[in-house]
A and B are shown apart, each in its own frame.
Chain A
């Protein structure tokens, strides 16, 4: 038994002792060690690490529910957590939507976590930063290298008791030249798979190709989105579209069984190996197919949203999912089946994963990255945001000019709708999110239309 599962079991015993046999409780004890080495102006300027164990309790007592957490995990801290939560539950209004506890359920088999990544020190991260900086060959650079390790135990009064561990690594950096930025980023389960030099080379190639940008008029453009931009689409679809609470409250575009996307689009959530094998309610995580060849097939649920929607939990409970909804954190867009990825040359503006698609563009834009995307209308998932880290004009399959960053206002489901996807890249790239344990796997996408609504002039 891990230290975390032992901790969770001790809290369950405290609950039984202090709240009685009728209490329903679930406890997650999670140890998280995260380290992030950050660089800017081609030097490491922030270098941080922390190791934190948090115990989170949710209690349902006499029809009333309260939750709480603490990082004070000694006997007095745990007792205070339990007493505080019992008191809170007694003062809380009745909870009509209590979904009950996860029954004893076995976890799915998950890949083993990488011990070397979990134990990585500051020198290993710094070495990758050094490689990135050197590979940029004199260009100004900025970014981060991150490793994290998570170990958690879950126990509830219904008898579910599970434990798991995960580790992940990520590197994300830009190179800069005369106001043009280029980016390269990767996520993975092993730090050893992150090649700082390769990422620095790619970022620098983009920056060098971004000089003397032209300003294009707003309008609808055919686009090739590199995987870094596609990850933003997956992030917003997960947060607002496939969110089970938004779906249950009729705030999502999602309609199960309806062909809402192009047949080239298949989206899965693949949490095993990327994060812990169970959620905050102890429900085992597993692959969830959200879109199958264009048809919306599922949304992500915790026990509360599942009960409201008449479905089963899909293992997406988070600490605050009763308020914000259950959100899938490891979405992947399936690459073109049977396709072959082009080799990475480290030259020019186009990442290898997008090169074949660029060749099929008559006149359009190659977009590297999106930034500051925000929802204008949740139901139709109209998003506004900006391009970042490189945009180029493509004519007859060739990049012909760098383009200044532009603002867009676009419905994401509509952009991926039936008939709107002209091509999907052959290689899916694992990309990090701002939070460890969250990653998106995306190929490049060739889309018929993207609504650019502004340029540098306004």
Chain B
């Protein structure tokens, strides 16, 4: 990169050390974002935003402090480092246990995500024309409301730490999606393409080109209209086939969050919640059936949770979280790993320079299975298939979940039958995963650009490779 900000980051780190910190790190981040939304063939909103600043983290004794400012001068960096140490010292009024940090492989490195077409360089008129055409096509096909959106993030960051890190990264992310809604008597049905909020990745505009938004717009409108008169999803216990997009969110909510080590240690108890997992069971607990193999893999090219180094300087490494149904790994940071007696970190990220790095999902995905979706349907005598998430809710221990999908189908005698409206299913995490008896090989790394966590709130970008799968004895058709 032609201009770097290691000097400012290093100045902040040194100032924190001078003020009494025994460890400090600093991130300078420059981020440009662009968002456009369209409705019924017209652009509705367009925003192009720029943010730049430095965030400093200081460890004084056994207490952390963090301070951030949008000023990249040397004086501001020094002041931020001092302030972070002062805040850490104040934390000592209510102290916790001693804090250690597992090693993060100190060093100098540079990394950039792959990008064929820089999304910010694509003319706005081209991007606008795409959303206008796609939403107009859905509207023309009978949608009462057609909406489209794209989002672009271009982030450069320079990380320095008192452990000797000097790491810069350039991560470009983008994605898009459309939704067609049909209004009935007292209810609204909607269909989204390619997923309920679009598909996203650490890729360039070529990702959006591949989505074929306009080509799928009319079908979304048709299906939304058809759902208004489709029979309700039946209520009861049945065999459930989930499409890959819905399964990605199932993984996110009932596995990804549950294996976050900060939750397991109680650090999120008052807000995001804890986890049903107990570290004493790591390596022995049966999470799911033998088909369940979950990996933590920030190295997947183009997936939304990919990076070269996390925001503590740990390099991206693929690890197992669940192997042959047994729980074997967690998402960890340097301090939480040390506290848990583990020897790896690598899953800490911050939503911008003004936010504290914390344990976040990277790409948490289900390895593909031996079947195809058609084989799964053909092997099902009586069941329901659902896809494309519409709602999600799960308890604070990540056990009791309920999901709603945009669309469902009857499955009878090995064939996909009638469309079903308002499909929902509910269950308890490990019981549900242990019932998975068929898994497709048709895996897609779905991106989730809106994972909320932390106080103050942070929005995380995560990826979830997932393929269609079958589950038995699932309660479906929960209604108000």
Contact = CB atoms under 8 A, between A and B. Distances in A.
B94 to A, nearest CB: 5
A50 B188 contact: no
A146 B354 CA distance: 16
A283 B23 CA distance: 47
B265 to A, nearest CB: 8
Nearest to A68: B48
B400 A458 contact: yes
Contact of A458 (B88, B145, B188, B427): B427
Interface in B25-67: 35, 37, 42-53, 55, 63-67
B155 interface: no
Contacts of A53: 70
Contact of B480 (A73, A249, A451): A451
Nearest to A51: B69
Given A377-B422, A458-B400, A372 B393 contact: yes
A376 interface: yes
Interface string A39-59: 111111111111111100000
A81 to B, nearest CB: 7
Given A44-B63, A142-B266, A88 B49 contact: no
Nearest to A372: B393
Contacts of A40: 266-270
A130 interface: yes
B391 A374 contact: yes
| Chain A interface residue bracket vs B | 35 or more
Contacts of B51: 54, 69-71
A130 B42 contact: no
Interface string B150-185: 000000000000000000000000000000010100
Given A50-B69, A85-B48, A373 B93 contact: no
B129 A93 contact: yes
Contacts of B48: 66-68, 84-85, 88
Interface centre among A45, A53, A173 (most CB of B within 10 A): A45
A7 to B, nearest CB: 13
Contacts of B47: 66-69, 319-320
B392 A374 contact: yes
B213 to A, nearest CB: 16
A400 interface: no
Contacts of A162: none
Nearest to B47: A67
B125 A454 contact: no
Q: Is the interface of A mostly helix, strand, loop or mixed?
A: strand
B341 interface: no
B91 interface: yes
B478 A454 contact: yes
B86 A80 contact: no
A71 B50 contact: yes
B412 interface: no
Interface stretch (A230-238, A329-337, A378-386): A378-386
A62 interface: no
B457 A434 contact: yes
Contacts of B362: none
Contacts of B265: 41
A95 interface: yes
Given A71-B53, A451-B480, A92 B69 contact: no
Contact of A93 (B68, B92, B125, B402): B125
Nearest to A319: B47
A35 B95 CA distance: 18
Contacts of B91: 37, 44-45, 47, 122, 126
Contacts of B370: none
A74 to B, nearest CB: 9
B46 A66 contact: yes
Interface stretch (A17-25, A289-297, A340-348, A405-413): A405-413
Interface string A56-98: 0000000001111111110001001100110010011111110
| Chain B interface residue bracket vs A | 35 or more
A49 B37 CA distance: 32
A409 B480 contact: yes
B93 A67 contact: no
A233 to B, nearest CB: 14
Nearest to A49: B67
A125 B86 CA distance: 13
A130 to B, nearest CB: 5
Given A44-B96, A47-B88, A72-B52, A405 B63 contact: no
A47 B269 contact: no
Interface in A135-180: 140, 142-144, 146, 172-174, 176
Nearest to B392: A374
Interface string A167-205: 000001110100001010000000000000000000000
B340 interface: no
A456 B400 CA distance: 7
A97 B37 CA distance: 13
Contacts of B68: 48-52
Contacts of B70: 52-53, 71-73
A262 interface: no
B380 to A, nearest CB: 22
B72 to A, nearest CB: 9
Contact of A122 (B37, B86, B392, B455): B86
A46 B350 CA distance: 13
Contact of B426 (A42, A84, A181, A458): A458
Interface in B184-241: 186-188
Contact of A69 (B49, B270, B271, B402): B49
B96 A322 contact: no
Given A41-B96, A41-B267, A96 B42 contact: yes
Nearest to B268: A40
B42 to A, nearest CB: 6
Contacts of A372: 393-396
A371 B395 contact: yes
B424 interface: yes
B1 to A, nearest CB: 18
B87 to A, nearest CB: 5
B117 interface: no
Contact of A377 (B125, B188, B358): B188
B83 interface: yes
A46 B356 CA distance: 8
A319 B400 CA distance: 35
Contacts of A92: 43, 46, 124-125, 128
Interface string B79-119: 00001001110111111110000000000000000000000
Given A44-B91, A122-B87, A453-B402, 13 more contacts: A44-B92, A47-B66, A68-B50, A71-B52, A84-B50, A122-B86, A129-B94, A143-B270, A176-B269, A249-B145, A375-B391, A453-B426, A453-B478
9 contacts: A45-B267, A67-B45, A72-B52, A183-B270, A376-B480, A377-B480, A386-B394, A388-B395, A453-B480
Interface of B: 35, 37, 42-53, 55, 63-70, 83, 86-88, 90-97, 123-125, 128-129, 132, 144-145, 149, 181, 183, 186-188, 265-271, 273, 354-356, 358, 390-396, 400, 402, 404, 422, 424, 426-428, 431, 455-457, 475, 478-480
